Amino acid sequence: MAATSRRHSSVPRELSPADYQLLAEFRYLLARFLAFSAEAAHEAGLAPRQHQALLAIKGYPGGAPVTVGDLAGRLGIRHHSAVGLVDRLVDSGYLVRRSDAKDRRRAILSLTAAGEKALAALSSAHRAELRRIAPLLGPLLSELGDDSTA
C-alpha cells in the first residue's frame, strides 16, 4: 500500500497518446472478459454475482472457513446484500450455511456438490478464456508496469 500512496503523491508525468491507447486497450480487454464471464455465468444458470460468490468462497485465502462478513468483504458489498446473495445460493442448492461451533452468531459457508460442479465448469471456461487473451494482456501489463521512460 505504501508504494501506491507514494506513486499517487508524486507529480505524475504527462501522459502520451500511446499511454491513453494502452489504457483504452486494457479497459477494452477487461470489459470483454467481464462480458464473457457474465454470459458464462448466465449459461450455467447463475447470476454473475452468484458465480463471484462461489469463487470467493472456494478461493478464499488460506482455505479458512468463510463467513458472510468475509464474503461481503471479498465482493465489496454490504453485509445485508451478502446475506441475500447467500440466501439465494442456499435456496438454489449451491451453498450450505452452518453456525460456527465456537461462535453461534457466525455463519460458515461452504459449497455443496452442485456448487462445486457449477464452479468447476465455470472456472475451467474462465481459465481457457484467460489463456486466450493472455497474449494480448501480457504486453499491455508490461508496458503499464514500466514507467522508467518517464
pLDDT of residue 100: 83
Q: Report the length, in residues, of the chain.
A: 150
Which residues are 102's β-sheet partners?
none
pLDDT of residue 9: 54
Cβ neighbours of residue 122 closer than 8 Å, sequence gap 6 or more: 40, 41, 44, 46, 51, 54, 55
The tens place of each residue's pLDDT in the chain, 150 residues long, gives 444 444 555 667 788 898 899 989 999 999 999 999 999 999 999 999 999 999 999 999 987 899 999 999 999 999 999 999 999 999 999 999 998 888 888 899 999 999 999 999 999 999 999 999 999 988 888 887 766 544
Query: Does residue 77 lie within any of the structural domains?
Result: yes
pLDDT of residue 56: 97
Query: Does residue 3 lie within any of the structural domains?
Result: no
Residue pair 25/140 in contact by the 8 Å Cβ criterion = yes
Query: Does residue 147 lie within any of the structural domains?
Result: no
Query: Cα–Cα distance between 66 and 59 in angstroms, integer?
Result: 10
Query: Does residue 66 lie within any of the structural domains?
Result: yes
Residue 130 lies in domain: 18-141
Residue pair 147/10 in contact by the 8 Å Cβ criterion = no
For the chain, how many structural domains are there in total? 1
pTM, two decimals, is: 0.82
Query: Does residue 29 lie within any of the structural domains?
Result: yes
How is residue 63 annotated by DSSP? G
Q: Which residue has the cell 455463519?
A: 107
Query: Does residue 4 lie within any of the structural domains?
Result: no
pLDDT of residue 115: 98
Number of neighbours of residue 67 by Cβ within 10 angstroms:
21
Which CATH number belongs to the domain containing residue 129 in this structure?
Answer: 1.10.10.10
Query: Does residue 59 lie within any of the structural domains?
Result: yes
Query: Does residue 137 lie within any of the structural domains?
Result: yes
Task: Classify burial at 129, counting beta carbons within 10 Å of its beta carbon; exposed 0-12, middle 13-18, buried 19 or more.
Answer: middle
